[in-house]
Each structure stands twice: as structure tokens, then as C-alpha cells.
Amino acid sequence: MAKFPFENPILLENYRVRLSPLSQEHHADLLPIAMDQNLLLYSPSAINSSELLTNYIQAAIHRKEEKNSYAFAIFDKQAGRLAGSTRFGNVSEENDRLEIGWTWIGPKFQGTGLNKACKFLLLDFAFNHLGFERVELKSDARNLRSRKAMEKIGAQYEGLLRHHVLMGDGHRRDTVYYSILKREWARLKSERFGEFL
């Protein structure tokens, strides 16, 4: 059974990105990014004010204390600044599975390879260091950009959950699920993430 080190400060890094535990110390640098009204268009979480971002970070810290998720701040080493946040979530040690998601990256950093660099670090840590057997990814069915990104790294489409999540605007979103299995990771690592090896 895989164990997740919730109590430890986890720092993941490659030549492009550094992921460090999300804290309120990141608030000031993340706020200009969070203020973008379209940033979380497909997310049930609103972060586009100082108070909302504070609450979001505090909720992430609380979920870590509950041993459910572990949120990171994303530092783009190429740009020399914070770019957003991502996390491990829905951690199930008894089933050797977890989810990667809750990812938001400022528009200036999108399409630059930053998200792929983050996913590589998270996937490699989950499979090779922690020993999890399954990583899940999900998205609003309408979020074609996110779906293409998941498919591009080799995640397998598993299905659609209808009317799955209630959004802030009252819309009930359909959620698409993808996954990567530990037995697939060595091949995907070589085929899809060669620039980080």
C-alpha cells in the first residue's frame, strides 16, 4: 500500500519548474493571476479576489491536514515568477490511487510547456517515488484545452459523469475522467516527456 507524506514539505523541481507547498506566503504573487475572470471558467472554485484567494489557499491547507490533498505553488523558472497552482487530491492510500488536478496557470504561461513540466514531476513522484498504481485526471467536458493536454501526455479517456458538479453560475457540469497506470508510466515517460529525462 502506497503512503503519501502529507506531513513532509515536498519540493519537486526540474530545469523548468519548481513546485513547493502552497501557503499564504504565495498570496500576493498569485493574486494578479487569480484576478483573471476567465482563469477558472470551468472550475467550481472562485479565486478572483483577495478574500477568495485567501479562502482557497486556507481550504487547500485544511485538506492537506485532513490527508486528502497536497497543493503546490508553481514557480516558472524560465520567467522567474509564480505562475499558478496545482495539487495531488483525493488521495486513497488503501487503493494506491490519487488524482492530479486543481491546476490553474496564468494566461501568459499557458502553451509554454510549463503545465507539461508540472505534470511530469507530479506523475513521476506519484509512480516512482510513492509507488501509487493509478493517477486520475478530470475536467469539465467543455474544457477542450484541458482534455487535449491530458490526451497529449498519454492519459486514457475513461468516461463521462453527467451532471457531476454544480458550478458557481448554477450550471451542472459533465465531468470527463482520464487515467494513467503505473505499468504505463515507463513508456509514457520516454515517449511523451523525453525533454525532462
- Asked if residue 7 is part of any domain, the answer here is no
Query: Strand 172-181 vs strand 12-13: parallel, antiparallel, or unpaired?
Result: unpaired
pLDDT at position 38 = 86
Which pLDDT score, from 0 to 100, does residue 153 have? 97
25 in a structural domain? yes
Mean pLDDT taken over the chain: 96
Residues 80-111 pLDDT 10s: 999 999 999 999 999 999 999 999 999 999 99
Q: In the predicted model, what is the mean pLDDT of residues 148-166?
A: 96
Q: Between 153 and 41, whose confidence is greater?
A: 153
Give CA separation, 62 vs 6, 19, 68, 70, 108, in Å.
11, 19, 9, 10, 29
Does 6 fall in a domain? no
Helices (H), 25-167: 27-34, 50-65, 114-124, 144-152
Residue 161: C-alpha distances to residues 45, 105, 117 (Å)? 19, 25, 28
On whether the CB atoms of residues 83 and 106 are closer than 8 A, the answer is yes
> What residue numbers bound the domain in which 90 lies?
12-196
Q: What percentage of the chain carries pLDDT values higher than 70? A: 100
Specify if 192 maps to a domain.
Answer: yes
4 falls within a domain? no
Residues of 5-27 as b/e, b for ≥16 C-beta within 10 angstroms? Answer: ebeeebebebebbbbbbbeeebb
Question: Does the residue 49 lie in any domain?
Answer: yes
Q: What integer pLDDT is reported at residue 43 of this predicted model?
A: 87
CATH (domain of 153): 3.40.630.30
Q: Does residue 24 fall inside a structural domain?
A: yes
pTM comes to 0.96
Cα–Cα distance measured from residue 156 to residue 140, given in angstroms and rounded to the nearest whole number: 16
Residue 5 lies in a domain: no
Please report the pLDDT score of residue 168 as a whole number. 84
Q: Is the pLDDT of residue 11 over 90?
A: yes
How many structural domains compose the chain?
1
Q: Give the separation between CA 184 and CA 171, rounded to whole angstroms.
A: 35
